[in-house]
Amino acid sequence: MSKHKFWGQITESLMGFTADQKYNIPNFSEQEIEIFLGNEFDEDGDEIDTPPNQTSLDAYADTFSAFLNNLPDLLLTIKAQGFERYQRLYAHYYEHEQKSGKAPLNIDTAEKHFEYMRDILHIRIEDNHTIIIPIRYQLDTEHGIEIKFENNEITSIGGIAES
């Protein structure tokens, strides 16, 4: 495969093409995160078996660098929208002992809620300045959370593979 100045060696894996270089994303879990480059499937649902070219790799590096540079601001939005989703879909269960059978979690702020959504599974960078981040959501490990960014704006937040 090819090598890139930002990503290192590009290799093929079960989920598409991945960078040799892994990254720690501030404010999330302490583990280094695997980065996938490009779509996993084409528009017909077939696996993509052609590695990204140097132009695409450069664009992915620019997209990821912009994401990291804007992460402090993006983090505020991630926390706010994640908490809003929790209130809409999960709070009626987790905050009422008669429904959950357990003491309420008392998640009443975006900051408290964020503690349950810090475990990034991996990051996928696609064309058109798109980043997709699936997260192991401690309150719903079956569905998780997936956040999709386009041009450093959250365009969707939902269960994994829903965005």
Per-residue pLDDT of the chain (163 residues; tens, 9 = 90+): 688 999 999 999 888 999 988 999 999 988 999 999 998 877 777 788 888 999 999 999 999 999 999 999 999 999 999 999 999 999 999 999 999 999 999 999 999 999 999 999 999 999 999 999 999 999 999 999 999 999 999 999 998 876 5
Q: Which residues of 78-88 are buried (b: 16+ CB within 10 A; e: fewer)?
A: bbebbbebbee
Domain-embedded: residue 46: no
Confirm whether 163 is domain-assigned.
Answer: no
**Overall pTM > 0.85:** yes
**pLDDT tens-digit readout, 42-84:** 777 778 888 899 999 999 999 999 999 999 999 999 999 999 9
Q: CA 133 to CA 160: how far, in whole Å?
A: 9
Q: Considering the domain boundaries, does residue 152 fall inside one?
A: yes
How many folded domains does the chain comprise? 1
In this structure, is residue 29 part of a structural domain? yes
For residue 95, what are the domain limits?
3-41+51-158
Would you say residue 15 lies in a domain? Answer: yes
Q: Which residues lie closer than 8 Å to 91 by C-beta, 6 or more apart?
A: 107
Q: H or E stretch including 99? A: helix 97-100
Q: Is residue 154 in some structural domain?
A: yes
With respect to residue 95, please indicate whether it lies within any of the assigned structural domains.
yes
143 is a domain residue: yes
